Structure formats: C-alpha cells, structure tokens
Structure 1
Amino acid sequence: MPTKGTAQERLKYEQVADEIARRAGELQPHDHLPSERDLMQQLDVSRMTVRRAIEQLVRRGLVYQVHGSGTFVADPDVVTKTLRLTSFTEDMQQRGLTPSTTVLRTAVQPATEDVARRLRIEPGADVLVLERLRLADGTPMALESVHLPAMGTDWSAFDPTASLYAQMSAAGITVERAAQSIHAVNLDRDQAYHLDQAVGAAALQVTRVSYTEAGVPVEIAETIYRGDRYDYDLVISRAAQ
C-alpha cells in the first residue's frame, strides 16, 4: 500500500509530465525542450520530479533525449527505438498504439549451418521458423523472421500472433540481453508489398541474437523496419584518452 507521500509524488510528476507534453505539442518535431533546470524553475518542482516526468514522456514516445544535448520533441509519425531490449509489442503499447500481427509462415525445419552456429545447436536440429508482419493501429510497420531452438519447449502451444518474449517468459525462458546489428537496406518487391511501400524504399534491417542470463542463445530475429516510421536512438560517449 503506497504511502501518502508516494502517492502525492506520483501525482506530481504525472501532472508535470502532462504539462511538458502540452508544451511539446505546441512545438515542431525535433525542437529542443527547455533544460531540466529551466523546467524546475518554470514549474516550481524538484529536479527528481522533472526527470521522472521526462522519463514517462520518453516511454510514451512523445519526446526523446540525446546525451549531452537535452530533450527533444519526437516525431509522432516515427517510432524512436532505443537500444533497451524490448519487444515490438512493448514498443507499440508504450506509445499508445495497438499492436497486431499477421502470421505469414510457421514451420519446423532443420537448422542450417549458420543458424546452428548462432544458436549453438547441431546442424539439422529442429528449429521453429516464424515469419510475421507486425502492425500498429493497423499500419504495417515491420517484417520479422524468427528462428527458435527447441529448448524442450512445445512451440505448438505458442500463439504466433502474440508477443514471443512474454510467452517465453511464461515458459521460464527469460531473455536478458542481445547482440544486435543494424543495416540500411532497400525493400525488394515482396517486402515492399507487405509493408505498403514502394519497391526500393529505404528500410532498416535489424539482426538480433537473444540470450538468457546464462548466455544461452534462444532466438535469432531478422526484422525489416519501414524507414519512414522507425529510427534508432543511440547514446554514445567518447572515452577519456
């Protein structure tokens, strides 16, 4: 049961978040918001309250932060994804969008040499291959191809239209980290058809191998994101020489 003070603080930062969101709505995408110090003075609140409010707005996809530069208004037509390990379903729900899935293909097939190497299984071992079109509010957003090893799990019991991460977690398989690469690509005819884009349109190809806390690979996912609806927010720093 939260204390009275906790409830008051929760209400305060939500009020501040609503006010910052209102101000952001009067600006253009990628405009700079006032600094934390300026917001503290303008709204007469603590730095912690401002930070919690901004964190909430980042999760809602209304603003984004650039390390060393500040907070900026997000483009409502673009999903800005950070490198925090989240599922497509989580990304869309955090932005107030309704995720849905069209299953294009499911099959159990022998692992190729490359898939076996990355999943650390024997070549020819059974893997579940799942190809899906991911949508948000009915708009095609991404094409996804996933390879999952057996892991003693009955994949036939999984719902291919729902979040795999949530179902894996329910089955006792918790994804803790992932190795990921991002490449700029152009859509081929089949990809363009599913994503409702022109052939040759710009896209992002994200290849990810996900691991449990013990370092066991449990997923290979290759996802093609629409270039006009996705960007990646990377925070980098220069180490002292």
Structure 2
Amino acid sequence: MTEQQQQTVARTYKYVAVAAAIRHTIETSLSPFDAVPSERDLMALYGVSRMTVRQAIATLVDEGLVYNVHGSGTYVGAPDLVSKPPKLTSFTEDMAGRGLKASSQILALSLERADSAVALSLGLSPGSECTHIRRLRLADDKPMAIEDVYVPRTILDIEQFRLGESLYQQLGAAGYDVLRAEQTIQAITLDPEAGSLLGVAPNASALSVTRVSSSRHGQRIEFARTIYRADRYTFQLTVTRDAEK
C-alpha cells in the first residue's frame, strides 16, 4: 500500500469514528431538533480536521439522523423528517430511502388545456392538452405533500395512467426516462384547504417546489408543483465556490 493510500485509509477511519461518536451523543443526550455541536467544537473535541468533521456530518445526513440549515448549523432530525439530497428521485424513491412506505390519494385526474405557465415550461402551444394528476402524497399513511403534475397528452394520455403505480416508472416504460429536472423552491403559507389536506393548521408554513423534468433526449415531459409540509420535509443542497483567479 502506498503512503497516499495509507493516508486515505487513515482519513476514512477518522471520519467513520467521528460519525460514530456523534451518533452516540445524539442517541444518548440529544432530542429531535436539538443543535449538534458546531464544526469548530467537533474539531476541538475529536482533534480532527474540518474536512473530517464535514465527512462525518455528511454520513449522518445521508442516514437521515441530522439535517443542515444553511447559515445556522446542524440539527438532530425527527423520526419522520425526510431530508432530500440533491439527486433526481421520485417521491416513492425518497420515502423508500428513509424506510418509509409511500402511497397516494388521487384528488383529481383529468385532461386539461395547459395554461400559459405550464405551456411555456413544457414548450407547448397555449391550450395544448395535458394529463393533470393531483395527488396527496403520504409517508407511512401520514400526509407529506400535495402534488399537481402536468404531462403532455402526447406523452401520457389519461387513459394510459395507472393508479397506484409510480409515474416515473410509467414514463420510463413509455420510453420517456426522466433524466434531468430544474427546480425552484420557495417558502409559502398554506391556505385552509391545503392545510386541511396536509393535517396542519391554516397559515402554516410549507415548501413549494416547481419542477420541470426532461428526458435523456432533452424533451420536456413533466411540469409539477408540489407543496411539502415544512415540519416533515427538508432539502439538502451542497454548493461549491469557484476558485479565485
């Protein structure tokens, strides 16, 4: 084994050990939503580098044990808090990755003419027909999100949609694998109807996500608006800074 390989193994064991130590602290002395010690404190406590601490925290984030709040710190996750990593996955895949069973209640299924926002996003002519699916998404039978999806009728006709099956799997079977998506996330206040569906008080905070998905050939195939309960769902994003020139 080369010296470089030995150093890599040593770093690997360090972050695994630090993750295990933090995990033990969480399990024995912290509660959901409590703050985890800062990176600086963890570096001093375990005598490791900032990179090692960040690798350890990233491991715990992937496990769903903690979540990050930009500009604030790292916090202990609640048992039913889902933190979505920056990967393109379906709702069913998200829930399965956290050991939760995904299910849906169909609220509406209809053919509709695309409004200007949907048509522009999907590259359609205004008034083009789309299959509209409105669903209440659940995790372990608890409301998680309200989702409105629009798919061009030429890609998925309403008569082709199969209740109870993953939309992405159906699109893939039709030759339209979802490969890329652009998302916009914003904080909103729930109206009484949405609050009632999600089982939270009116005017509660929520996360609204607008997504436009494309196939591997660059064809835009899905426009979706999803409203997530902010107390059960977070987004985990990793950003980098360009090197100074």
Task: Using structure 2 for the length normalisation, give the TM-score.
Answer: 0.74
- Give 1:60 deviation, angstroms: 4.2
Quick one: which of 90, 94, 103 aligns to 2:106?
103
- Give 1:171 deviation, angstroms: 2.1
Q: Verify the 8 A CA contact 1:185 1:203 in the aligned structure 2.
A: yes
**1:184 & 1:62 partners in 2: Cα distance?**
24
Give the structure 1 partner of residue 147 of structure 2.
144
CA 152–201 in structure 1, closer or farther in 2 if over 3 Å, else same: closer
- Give 1:19 deviation, angstroms: 6.2
Per the alignment, in what secondary structure is the counterpart of residue 147 of structure 2? strand
Structure 2 residue runs without a partner (length 5+): 1-12
Q: Verify the 8 A CA contact 2:109 2:158 in the aligned structure 1.
A: no
CA 66–116 in structure 1, closer or farther in 2 if over 3 Å, else same: closer
Structure 1 residue runs without a partner (length 5+): 1-12, 41-46
CA 134–153 in structure 1, closer or farther in 2 if over 3 Å, else same: closer
Q: Where do 1:1-241 residues align within 5 Å? A: 24-26=26-28, 27-28=30-31, 29-32=34-37, 58-64=61-67, 73-241=76-244
**2:212 & 2:131 partners in 1: Cα distance?**
15
Instruction: Note the alpha carbon deviations across 1:98-133, whole angstroms, 9 max, x for none.
Output: 111000000012222322221112222210001000
**2:65 & 2:170 partners in 1: Cα distance?**
28
- Give 1:136 deviation, angstroms: 0.7
Structure 1 stretch 223-232 or stretch 55-64: which is displaced more?
55-64
Structure 1 stretch 210-219 or stretch 18-27: which is displaced more?
18-27
Per the alignment, in what secondary structure is the counterpart of residue 92 of structure 2? helix
Aligned length: 221
Q: Verify the 8 A CA contact 2:122 2:220 in the aligned structure 1.
A: yes
- Give 1:63 deviation, angstroms: 4.1
CA 148–139 in structure 1, closer or farther in 2 if over 3 Å, else same: same
Letter of the aligned partner of 2:213 in structure 1? S
Q: Verify the 8 A CA contact 1:59 1:95 in the aligned structure 2.
A: no
Letter of the aligned partner of 1:166 in structure 2? Q
Give the structure 2 partner of residue 43 of structure 1.
none
- Give 1:66 deviation, angstroms: 8.6
The sequence identity of aligned pairs, in percent, is 43
CA 102–236 in structure 1, closer or farther in 2 if over 3 Å, else same: same
Per the alignment, in what secondary structure is the counterpart of residue 83 of structure 1? coil
Q: Verify the 8 A CA contact 1:80 1:232 in the aligned structure 2.
A: yes
- Give 1:161 deviation, angstroms: 3.0
Q: Verify the 8 A CA contact 2:155 2:221 in the aligned structure 1.
A: no
- Give 1:71 deviation, angstroms: 8.0
CA 168–58 in structure 1, closer or farther in 2 if over 3 Å, else same: farther
User: RMSD between aligned alpha carbons?
Assistant: 3.5
CA 188–65 in structure 1, closer or farther in 2 if over 3 Å, else same: closer
